Amino acid sequence: MMADVLEDPVGTFAYGIISLLALGLVILLLIITIIGILLAIPLIFVAYLVWAIGGAIAYLAIADRLVGRNDGWLKPLLVAACLSGALAVTGIGGLLAVCIGAAGFGAILRTYL
């Protein structure tokens, strides 16, 4: 999936953003109906889990491109964590972090859907 993010970042990002918007609309429609709340809550948790895994994949793909993984996974993991932390601290970094997470989310959904 890391290779998919690196090979087609615009495609995975577009797929992720469109999927997130559609998922948000479905969750909103489920919450409007009282009975749908029972389905919306697990759907939110699953979407958050997939988002977190996708974000990790996207950050690792970026870190792998920056430092490589010839010595093992420790360097890419540290670089990915530093990137994520640095983006969380800055204001504009939050928007970029959403874009990176959407690319990872799209990569996961493209693989399984």
Average pLDDT value for residue range 62-90: 88
pLDDT tens-digit profile of 31-50? 999 889 999 999 999 999 99
Question: Which residues are CB-neighbours of 5 under 8 A, at least 6 positions away?
Answer: 12, 57, 58, 61, 103, 104, 107
Helix (H, G, I), strand (E, B) or coil at 33: coil
Residue 42: domain span = 2-112
Q: Where residue 10 falls among pLDDT bands split at 50, 70, 90?
A: very high
Q: Which of 97, 9, 17 is nearest to 56 (CA)?
A: 97
Phi-psi region of 72 (alpha: psi -120 to 50; beta: other; left: phi over 0): left
Q: Report how many domains make up the chain.
A: 1
